[in-house]
Amino acid sequence: MNPKVTVIIPVYNQEPFLAECLSSVLSQTLREIEVLCINDGSTDSSLKIIREFQAADPRIVCLDQPNAGVAAARNRGIETARGNYLIFLDPDDSYPSNSTLEQLYFAAINNDVLVSAGSFSIADEETGEITTSFDGLLKGYTFKEESTILYDDYQFDYGFHRFLIQADFLRTNKIKFPPLVRFQDPPFLVETLIKAEKFYAIPEVVYRYKLGHQTIKWNTEQQLSLIKGIKIILDLSRSNSLASLHALEVKRLEEEYGGVFYWAIENPDVFAALIDLNAHIDHSLISPDGAINHQLIAPLKQQTSNAMKWKKDIEDLQGAVLAERKDKENAWEELDLVKKKLEQAEGKIAAITSSKTFRAANAIKSLLK
């Protein structure tokens, strides 16, 4: 008999958190589960920890592969999972309750839906504070009541970990994570919910995201991945007339990720990708009257102009400092040259005054007085 749920955990160098993560899964009251760990080329003790847990509990399945990235690891999990439903868990996160999987599973089964979902929480490791209330661009993280929700009414893109999804539905529709190093999960969730059309939501918090130990370094590859991920959602929302989702992605780019691109737009590859991205924005979706209320290029050009001006100001200041330093260096060099010439002159004078000719000349000069 197949497990009721497969929990897919992509693992790459998560030694400090992995044991807590696995313990939170194995302590679930829903016992008929498969815990599918894809070790994605870890170089620390992650694989050893998985093997130790596997030896104690046969519900853990370990797939070991060379590093291919989190998207590839999750996609392998989708292909391999034996559970009727599946859900994703990151190895540095955990479930907030022992009944999380049971709640999500029976929400799906009892309401005959392909997808069920719960609310999200963020645990700050530094302060210990747990956030369960969100607004603005993160408003869709929580549900106020138990109900069936049409995606046309939801139109949100974050928090895919909260969603329990029928495995055969994903495989039949060939829904996978795009091969991106960043922002691969929002396109996955959006495509899933568009094709599922609806899901059953419960207000209970079903995921605890740990904040505080991750450091994101936005290199060019990650910036381009983010742009590609947003582009996928812009295209999906445009082709499915999801105006709120379309506007949300533009806001994410302008407000949430504006700082990521502030200096990066001097990179010609990133700037070209942003210019191309603008062509995927349907302004008639964002504004009912067709007026363009959200211009992506204008702010980018202004940011570029500001960045270039500040860069020139910094370069001018650096130039002035270097010039002053050079002047001082030249002055010291000239002083050293004068000192050397003076020393040379003093040496010549000493040589002359000590010579026999000089002494004889002085003697003759004395006789002539």
What is the pLDDT tens value at each position of the chain, 369 positions in all?
A: 899 999 999 999 999 999 999 999 999 999 999 999 999 999 999 999 999 999 999 999 999 999 999 999 999 999 999 999 999 999 999 999 999 999 999 999 999 999 999 999 999 988 889 999 999 999 999 999 999 999 999 999 999 999 999 999 999 999 999 999 999 999 999 999 999 999 999 999 999 999 877 777 788 999 999 999 999 999 999 999 999 999 999 999 888 888 787 767 678 888 888 888 888 998 888 765 433 344 444 555 555 555 566 556 666 766 776 777 677 677 777 777 777 777 776 776 666 666 655 555 555 555 544
Answer yes or no: pTM beyond 0.85. Answer: no
The Cα–Cα gap between 183 and 192 comes to 15
Tokens read off for 324:
């002053």
State phi, psi for 217 to the nearest 5 degrees: -105, 110
Helix (H, G, I), strand (E, B) or coil at 82: coil
Cβ–Cβ under 8 Å, residues 232 and 171: no
Residue type present at position 248: L
DSSP string, 13-50: S-HHHHHHHHHHHHT-S--SEEEEEEEES-SSSHHHHH
Indicate the Cα dihedral angle 144, 237, 175, 111, nearest 10°: 30
Q: How many residues does the chain have?
A: 369
H or E, element range at 198? strand 198-211
